[in-house]
Structure 1
C-alpha cells in the first residue's frame, strides 16, 4: 500500500500485479467465514466504480479490519 494506490503482487514463475488508485476507490469490503473468524483471518476487497471496475482482493490476512481501516483512512 502506498499513499496513492493499493498494489497486490503475486510472483511464482511469472508476475501478476493488480493495483487500484485510491482516488478511484468506491468501496472497501471485509469478509470472514466462521472458520476464518475463529483463527483471526479474513479477506478485504477494494473496488473502484464506473464502467471499468478495478478490484484488488487480499485473501487470508490477519487483522483484516485493521487493514481495511488503513485503506479507508487514505481515501
Structure 2
C-alpha cells in the first residue's frame, strides 16, 4: 500500500467545512456510473468518503450524501 493510502485514516478529517460541498461533489462525480472505471480501488474511495464523513461540522444533508456514496461503493 502506498503512502497516500496509509494517510487515509478515518479519524483524520481531509477537508474543512468550508470546502466540504465541493469535496462531496467531486466524490459524487468520480463515483458516478460514468466514473465507475476509476484507476483507484473501491478501498481507496471508501477511505476518502469515510474520511470526509469525519469532518467536524458536517450537516445532515452532507452526511446523507456521503452515506449514499458509501452505499454506492458497497454495491459496485
TM value normalised by structure 2? 0.35
Structure whose residues are more often strand by fraction: 1
Structure whose residues are more often helix by fraction: 2
